[in-house]
Chain A
Amino acid sequence: MRVCIYIWAICLFAGTAVSGKDKSYEVFEMMTASSPSDSRSKEWKPGDGISLEVSGMEWMGDGRLAVCVRKGEVWLIDNALSDDREKIDYKLFASGLHEPLGLLKDGNELLVCQRSEVTRLQDNDGDGVADAYLTEADGWNVSGNYHAYAYGPERDGDGNLWVTLNLGMGSLANNSIGWRGWGGIIGKDGRFVPKSLGMRSPSGMGRNKEGDMFYSDQQGTWIPATPIYHLRPGVFYGNQESLGSLKLADAPFQMASIPKPNTPYPEALESSPEFVPPAVWLPYNKMGRSATDIQLIDQNGKFGPFDGQLLVGEFTNAAVSRVFLEVVGGEYQGACFPFLDGFAAAVVRLEFAPDGSLFVGMTNRGWSSLGNRSYGLSRVRFSGKTPFSIKEMKAKPDGFELVFTEEVDPATLESLEMISYTYEYSSRYGGDEMDTKNVAIEGSDISDDGKTVRLKLKGLRRYHVHELHATGVKSKSGSKLGSPFAYYTLNQIPEK
């Protein structure tokens, strides 16, 4: 345990280096809960300012940023790209919503996901304030339990609008009816169309460059660590509290078998054809504790050399992680890397601005984070100085290929170490890494350009997380890695 925490602490400060010391990324705080009039102050009254507990963001296409906040409002922000906070203007667009947790532009209008429905907001008289709150989609059970959140909508490459539904927990919770722990799309008649199940707290969705959807889930019952899954129809993600809805008439499929609990993941996965592993595990503590939003980097280098990869918000650590994915054996899998941290509050939503900067929406409420503000909105810009990082980690039949952002000093490669482990599939709340073994590094080849390193390993294990320690690796120019750890989830070992 002590070792874990030690490693975690290193990650934290190494990560800070990325956003701090060498300034590859600069953070600009647009608004945080620092003013005396914020919602947590004893003097705060409704109406005395905006409590910007960001739960959804969307660019309106006319330079304005729409932000929904958990209190139940949508704000339109003018001059959101200005460096002068005085010029940034906040206008209330909609209010009275029930804990909205997602925002999506549809045509010129906004869709917002409330607890019980997706609502279309219209401003028919053009005064800048919504005057129609129309039910766009509903059809899931709302029991009154606080934990039964609804997230979305998020658009996939085919134009489907996805909604994910949190499991209830505690008093009033009822997960046995009405699609709790399911993800689905909005049907033509405005009804929720269930597609896949086994979710726990699917608080973030995002699509990759190919248009495929991914969602993040939270460590908790049935979920040992933080997973990122490929979201698609007809599969089961593991949380058995969602099985009750299979009895409903609209259930889109039945499971051939229910995976066997209290077995290691590799075994449990084989016990049910519908049960799928996460594309990437974000090991608990090492990568944070609670993933949130997913955002594709597709900025033509304006946000650094990581285009095509996914960013994942991290609540507890007030951080942002980076995920590299590849297709092996027809399924997504890949690696995660600590990326940015030190934000003012828990990171909940991510959205790229038209200029290639990243907007980070934050709220600490309900949990807590290493950020000591209760909420905020920040903007991250790439300074142009590429950080020395492991950009990609690809699986090979006998090892991994590491692609670095700079030339590597070959003499330092000897220091590389790797372990691998899996988790237990069980109903317990979270779970430890199990079956941990050292992976012997038998050799490494470096490419002519000095940036690609081919590792030959002994003892790759399918369905295991392969954790790379590169604390001793340096670039040719002597830099250490900002984040010297990488975690590859090896669901399949490629044949070639």
Chain B
Amino acid sequence: MPGKDMRFTFFIVTLVAVIGEGAQGAPHVVGYERFHSDKPTVEGGAILFSELGCANCHGGSPVVVPRKGPNLADLSRRVDREWLAAFLREPESGRDGSTMPQMFHGLSDGDISAVLDYLGTFETKKKISPPRHANAERGSAVFHESGCVSCHAPTSDYKGPHGSGADFESDLIVSHPDFKKKTNIDALTVFLSDPSAYRPDGRMPHIRFEGQEASDLAAHLLDEQGSDPREMPRLRKWPKAEAASIEKGKELVQKMNCAACHESPKVGESKMAPLTGSSGGCLSDKPVEGLPFYSLTEGQQESLKLFLSKKESDLDNDITFAAMNCYACHDRDGKGGATPETNPFFVGDEALGDSGRLPPPLTGIGHKLKKSWMESVFRGDEGSRVRPYVKTQMPVYAKHAVELANWLEKLDAKPDAKQMTLHPADIEAGRKMLGIVGGANCITCHEWGEYSLMGIHALDISSLDERLRPEWFRSYLLDPATYRPGTLMPPLWPGGHSTVKDVLGGDTERQIAAIWEFIKDGEGVPEGFPDRAGGAFELKPVDRPIIQRTFFEKAGMKAILVGFPGGINLAFDGDKAQLAQVWRGPFFDAYNTWYTRAAPIEKPLSDEVYNVSVSEKDARFRGYRTDEDGNPTFLSTLGDQEVEESYAVEDGKLIRTIKWSEGRPVPFFHPEGVEHAEKREGDTLTITYSWK
């Protein structure tokens, strides 16, 4: 994938230039870069202390979910040995800005080989086999639309509806290794299907891909052109190791305290190392034997020193949002969220404005959502994705759901928030308020379970009591834009005054509480949903033909449908000025054409259809006339000829009459499978279609 990491490379090159030739590039921690790289701050230091794994040896993680290294299981089946050897020698060679410290300075190639031999014994019985099918093109769509590009750079050849990868530049991206060198489609598919199995700290979060999205994505990342994964490159087999080398590797792994960061059964017990000072040691400019070497920038060093000299209680509480990169997608208190660079890649339902494509803000989230719901979202429970129109997916943090929910609840607690006073008897008023018959019209825009109206398809509100705290709901309704900047939701109680005067005497508090009561009650639907399609809106020609224009599968976007009494119907293609389809039985359901906002392309109500093979002719449609019985005559021109085509039904037969003006019969086509008889008189042709 040439070009993918161009911007990042530039960044690293700059850093190398700053810190001097020959040194490893500095670790790149997005949470630090986002707000703290300009000048040293305590918070920046705290983020580094967590994200460089310092807390794993020294204790005291300032982040709710501590940073860990990857699980080392099955390395020999997932990672190329040579790539790994180079990576251990110099992590920067495997991935730009890697936060893995250099551990092997002063050790020989033989030592690294021994460590690899030992790591090669970490095999499990986990199934890592080729996926059945992979499609890099679809994988590109998954990569660029599901939210991966909130953290990673878009591919340079990608062109989306608003954003393009070609000129993408940002300091806030997490680089990739060269996947082709590091791994293959089998392992990458398994990894992407559930990254938390190998990356327990959630820094590479788990997106719930469906079907074969994970293998498509892997094919995209590996830039595989074929579709059969069995024909794609296999990993080179790791050589069989000598027992002595394995034993030596084991000793080294324990001596280097790999277990502090890497949780794997065979990696051994971790040892804590008390902090001895706030300079030198791991913070040194040059590698110190026996200690990790991070090649920190001066700013990073200063930040860490500031952090180490402060008490933890001095910290802003947003460290976790920055460290886990929640800010890549979410705004909280005006911080973070889409950047000018990433904004174009957040896609969704544009009819809902920015709230239809941007993940929701996290301002006051622990006060907004019930703890049980936050746990459900973090666990990725079925039904916990309430904004299906936002293409960016909220990752799953199943292993940390409880601690994250507890933390957010405590963080945002508002014990003084005004509570809602409930009036259980107002349930019916709540139903009216939600509805569109003298209510506040909530369902015009919001979906209600399986019901939706003609409007935009905003968030389903039928079970919001499971998600929201009532006191937040109350505050939000009174002032939506404060709680959700940029929302399309209008203030229905502007200044605290209800726009609905006839329900509960216009009492704002009672109206809001009534809405809550009705939703909580869970019985019934708001007032005003029409009967579902298929009934009340069926057009039934009784005395006269019914003519209706619509978008129609077989007759195009300028279709004119004609239903005759007696169950013979036709569709005329107004673009091509030709008959397109005939059907017998029920005519048409006009529900969508008349009353939905986003009407689909329609089809006949009956299955007894007779298609017409319409081919192009240079005819131009000029409209239609109706006679006194309501039968249509379609008008068109074909070159210099005026053509008139009339339809009527007599005795269960469809009578089609074609007239032309300049003496040359015009081409036309019959509905297939219908018996017909033709009769020509001068410049008029009459065709009778009959059924047995």
Hey, which bits of chain A sit against chain B, CB under 8 A? 1-2, 4-6, 8-10, 12-13, 34, 38-42, 44-46, 70-72, 95-99, 114-117, 119-120, 124-125, 131-135, 138, 142-144, 146-147, 169-172, 220-221, 262, 285, 289, 316-317, 364-370, 372-374, 427-430
Contacts and interface: CB of A to CB of B under 8 A. Distances in A.
A159 B496 CA distance: 49
B486 interface: yes
B531 to A, nearest CB: 6
A366 B454 contact: yes
A170 B598 contact: yes
A116 B558 contact: yes
Given A42-B531, A170-B351, A98 B550 contact: yes
A97 B529 CA distance: 24
A367 B455 contact: yes
Contacts, number: 174
A44 B623 CA distance: 31
B438 A34 contact: yes
B479 A2 contact: yes
6 contacts: A42-B529, A131-B626, A134-B623, A138-B621, A144-B601, A147-B351
Interface residues of B, number: 72
A121 B624 CA distance: 10
A6 to B, nearest CB: 8
Given A115-B557, A146-B598, A428-B354, A13 B495 contact: yes
B255 to A, nearest CB: 53
Contact of B558 (A117, A317, A366, A368): A117
B530 A40 contact: yes
B5 to A, nearest CB: 23
Interface in B586-617: 590, 593-599, 601
Main secondary structure of the interface of A (DSSP, over half): loop
Given A5-B479, A116-B557, A116-B574, A428 B343 contact: yes
B436 interface: yes
B490 A289 contact: yes
Contacts of A147: 351, 598
B630 to A, nearest CB: 9
Contacts of B539: 46
Nearest to B433: A372
Contact of B353 (A1, A132, A429): A429
A44 B594 CA distance: 13
Residue from A71, A97, A116 having most chain B Cβ neighbours under 10 A:
A116
B107 interface: no
A187 B485 CA distance: 45
B13 to A, nearest CB: 26
Given A133-B624, A370-B492, A372-B441, A46 B454 contact: no
Main secondary structure of the interface of B (DSSP, over half): loop
A124 B546 CA distance: 19
Interface of B: 162, 340, 343-344, 349-351, 353-354, 356-357, 436-441, 444-445, 454-456, 479, 481-482, 485-486, 488, 490-492, 494-495, 497, 499-500, 528-531, 536-537, 539, 546-551, 557-558, 560, 574-575, 590, 593-599, 601, 621-628, 635
Contact of A366 (B437, B439, B597): B597
A367 B548 contact: no
A409 B598 CA distance: 53
Contact of B628 (A2, A40, A97, A125): A125
A476 B551 CA distance: 61
Nearest to B435: A40
A135 B499 contact: no
B507 to A, nearest CB: 16
A284 to B, nearest CB: 10
B491 A9 contact: yes
Nearest to B486: A430
Given A42-B529, A365-B454, A368-B444, A135 B623 contact: yes
Contacts of A364: 436, 441, 444
Contacts of A72: 548-549, 593-594
A116 B572 CA distance: 14
A317 B455 CA distance: 16
Contacts of B455: 365-368
A117 B445 CA distance: 29
Contacts of A42: 529-531
Contacts of B490: 289, 316-317, 368-370
Contacts of A138: 558, 621
A119 B624 CA distance: 10
Contacts of B547: 95-96
A388 to B, nearest CB: 22
Contact of A39 (B351, B456, B593, B595): B595
A372 B595 contact: no
A9 B494 CA distance: 6
Contact of A44 (B162, B436, B536): B536
Given A366-B454, A430-B353, A40 B441 contact: no
A428 B595 CA distance: 29
